[in-house]
Amino acid sequence: MDRRQTFLMTSTPEAPPPTHRLRVDEEALAANWRHLDAMSGSASAGAAVKADCYGLGVDACVPVLQEAGAGAFFVAHWSEVAAVLDHVEPGRVAVLHGPMSDADVRFALETRVPPVINSLSQARRWNEAGGGTCHLMLDTGINRLGVTPSELSDPAIEALEVDIFMSHLACADEDSAMNKRQMDAFRAASGQVRAERFSLSNSAGIALGADYHFDMTRPGLALYGGVPRAEFAGKIRQVAHLEAAIIQVRTLQAGESVGYNAQFTAETPMRIGTVSLGYADGFLRACGPGNHLLYGEVILPLLGKVSMDMVVVDLSQAPETGEGDWLEVPFDLPNAAQQSSVSQYELLTVIGPRLRNC
């Protein structure tokens, strides 16, 4: 037996505690879904759980959403299905990108997870395989995925067994005339399709009012703490809470610099801390100078550039801090997006797997 075989047969010891962590506030997540469901009026709110629940983890979020009352879950890729099926019955999951190949169709039929049909070719592929219940996306102006209104009379579309007939708003986070144009186009097309349910609104669309709700809304961003419109301010709660530990403390002398490209230089002696957080964890370089971490209520400015696994903070106002102390990463999404010029969607979905697996 060689060394590699011996190693593989030996159990790996449990890893020591991490020096950064992500906490999902389950109560806030459930409260956000309930608020969005209530705002949806007579429509029911589903839940977009694609991109590993927008970066917060399917295993952490889907059970909470299901317990809160969500009955329909939406992912983008077939590769995302298995993780959701650990918690949800197959017929309650939908794959937004639809069946791109015969392999996708076989997987859908074997798992009993209905696809969202986005084109005539997908409709034909689904029908030829025996099909069954599916969903249908109509493009009303966003020009991403979906059949056109003129294609609704095609025999391949008419042959579908459509559960949810849906479209997607392009400008719901703005007071744009396009919102009503899309709503009117969807309402007109709905009379041409035999479907059990109709769905148009994403998170922001829910705030546009009852005309946009139909039978089901499909919130995503707002579930996880995002605030896409002013109507949600003060009502949607922060879900993701990030913390990182100080892993080294040192004193800079006047004239010494910090980090890549020596972007920060100390004018006087100062106490600094290196913190276990970087863009491999979703803390992007755009989150660097001008931003801060927190020690309780004490603001600790970031110094120099964010690097792969570390940032450096000014500890001058927190002389009691030391190695191993935990710092809070400000992650109220509207504020963090404004400070970093990174969108709320990006801030969530780029959270690295190292944090999700802590």
From CA 36, how far away is CA 301, in angstroms rounded?
35
From CA 309, how far away is CA 346, in angstroms rounded?
18
pLDDT band at 6 (very low <50, low <70, confident <90, very high): low
Active site residue 50: yes
Q: For residue 10, is pLDDT > 80?
A: no
Q: For residue 155, is pLDDT > 90?
A: yes
What was the pLDDT predicted at 297? 96
3-class secondary structure, 12: coil
pLDDT band at 192 (very low <50, low <70, confident <90, very high): very high
CB atoms within 10 A of CB 197: 17
CA 94 to chain centroid? 16
Per-residue b or e along 274-312, where b marks 16 or more CB atoms closer than 10 Å to that residue's CB: bbbbbbebbbeebbbbebbbebeeeebbbbbbbbebbbb
What was the pLDDT predicted at 341? 83
Q: For residue 20, is pLDDT > 70?
A: yes
CA 2 to chain centroid? 44
Contacts 24+ apart (CB under 8 A), 16-20: 18/276, 18/354, 18/358, 19/244, 19/245, 19/247, 19/276, 20/242, 20/243, 20/244, 20/245, 20/276, 20/277, 20/281, 20/354, 20/355, 20/358
CA-angle at 171, arms to 167 and 173, nearest 5° = 115
Domains detected in the chain: 26-232 (3.20.20.10), 240-356 (2.40.37.10)
What was the pLDDT predicted at 102? 96
What was the pLDDT predicted at 94? 98
> 38-84, pLDDT tens digit by residue?
999 999 999 999 999 999 999 999 999 999 999 999 999 999 999 99
- Residue with the larger pLDDT of the pair 247 and 341: 247
pLDDT band at 352 (very low <50, low <70, confident <90, very high): confident
From CA 21, how far away is CA 38, in angstroms rounded?
32
Catalytic residue, candidates 54, 212, 235, 260: 260
Torsion of CA 64, 21, 355, 87, to 10 degrees: -20
Active site residue 260: yes
What was the pLDDT predicted at 358? 63
pLDDT band at 9 (very low <50, low <70, confident <90, very high): low
From CA 168, how far away is CA 204, in angstroms rounded?
11
What was the pLDDT predicted at 5? 56
Q: For residue 339, is pLDDT > 90?
A: no
Catalytic residue, candidates 50, 224, 279, 305: 50
What was the pLDDT predicted at 356? 73
3-class secondary structure, 322: coil
Tell me the mean pLDDT in the region 230-240: 96
Torsion of CA 340, 345, 348, 352, to 10 degrees: -90
Tell me the mean pLDDT in the region 277-288: 86
> 316-337, pLDDT tens digit by residue?
999 999 999 999 999 999 998 8
- Give the distance between the most distant pair of CA atoms in the chain: 76
From CA 182, how far away is CA 177, in angstroms rounded?
9
> 126-144, pLDDT tens digit by residue?
999 998 999 999 999 999 9
**What's the DSSP call for residue 171?**
S
CB atoms within 10 A of CB 336: 21
pLDDT band at 7 (very low <50, low <70, confident <90, very high): low
What was the pLDDT predicted at 289? 74
Q: For residue 301, is pLDDT > 70?
A: yes
**Beta-sheet strand order (sheet of 133-137):** 44-45, 216-217, 195-199, 161-166, 133-137, 116-117
- Contacting residues for 22 by C-beta, under 8 A, at least 6 apart: 56, 57, 240, 241, 242, 351, 355, 356, 358
From CA 165, how far away is CA 124, in angstroms rounded?
17
What was the pLDDT predicted at 357? 67
Nearest CA to 358 out of 66, 57, 85, 83 is that of 57
CB atoms within 10 A of CB 73: 26
